[in-house]
Amino acid sequence: MRKGIGWSHLRKRWSRQRQLRKPWHDQRYIAVDIETTSLDPVSGHILSIAWVPIEPPMILINEARYHEFQVAAHVDLQQSPTIHGLTKAQLTSGGDIKTILKDLEAILYNRIMVCHHQRLDWSYLRENPITKSLHFEPLGIFDTLSYEKNKLSFSSESQLNNSSLTLSACRTRHGLPSYTSHHAMDDAIACAELFLAQATKIKPYNESLAFLLKQSK
């Protein structure tokens, strides 16, 4: 039994390493955005989630998914109605969160997750009580915020602060259209666009996936 488990683990690890050596533009990515009640993944609640597949240089809008979730009457939405535009009336008729997250678990497997603020989105997928029975296993994670932070830290002409790292500010630096939304679907697509703008600046174009992922560490 132990030998079988060990061999399976080695095969999975070998397969991952082989995939990481392939050109980044030959991979499939999933841009994910999660709207929550707070920054604490343990006590906070997931209000809505969206994801959109990316096959460079294309964003597959027709395969995008968006869901709002039911919340109990006692849940404090805090600033969510103001920031995300989500109200109790909407969220009392939302979809089943466990079913949707199970779909996301399958979609992310062996794909690259793209997000703008890995520390928040990834922690909600791993640490929130609702996800305790799920095992999200993306091939890797590309954080568009961390990528931008790394680039700005080496630039003497740019001022590094929180306002310079918002999704909107990052998009502006890459010549993308003005953006102000805080809707999960809009944010996921905006993040996907930013990712492609960032990734395509890497030369040569056929750099490995491992090299690409290092840029957002």
List of residues 6+ apart from 186 with CB closer than 8 A: 179
Q: Which helix (DSSP H) or strand (DSSP E) does residue 89 occupy? A: helix 88-91
The average pLDDT across 88-102 equals 71
pTM, 2 dp: 0.85
Tell me whether residue 217 is exposed, middle or buried, using C-beta atoms within 10 angstroms of its C-beta: 0 to 12, 13 to 18, 19 or more.
Answer: exposed
Q: Beta partners for 52?
A: 31
Query: What are the C-alpha distances in Å from 168 to residues 77, 122, 141, 172, 210?
Result: 24, 21, 20, 6, 27
CATH of 2-214, one of 3.40.50.720, 3.30.70.580, 3.40.50.300, 3.30.420.10: 3.30.420.10
* Higher pLDDT pick, 3 / 51: 51
The average pLDDT across 43-55 equals 93
pLDDT of residue 96: 84
**Per-residue pLDDT tens digits for 125-142:** 999 999 999 999 999 999
Name the most confidently modeled range: 5-14, 72-81, 126-135: 126-135
Location of structure tokens 């840029």: 215
Q: What whole-number distance in Å separates Cα of residue 43 and Cα of residue 130?
A: 11
Q: What whole-number distance in Å separates Cα of residue 193 and Cα of residue 171?
A: 8
**Per-residue pLDDT tens digits for 11-22:** 788 888 999 999
- The domain spans of the chain are 2-214
Q: Comparing C-alpha atoms, which of 117, 126, 140 is closest to residue 30?
A: 140
Residue 87: both structure tokens together: 């109200």
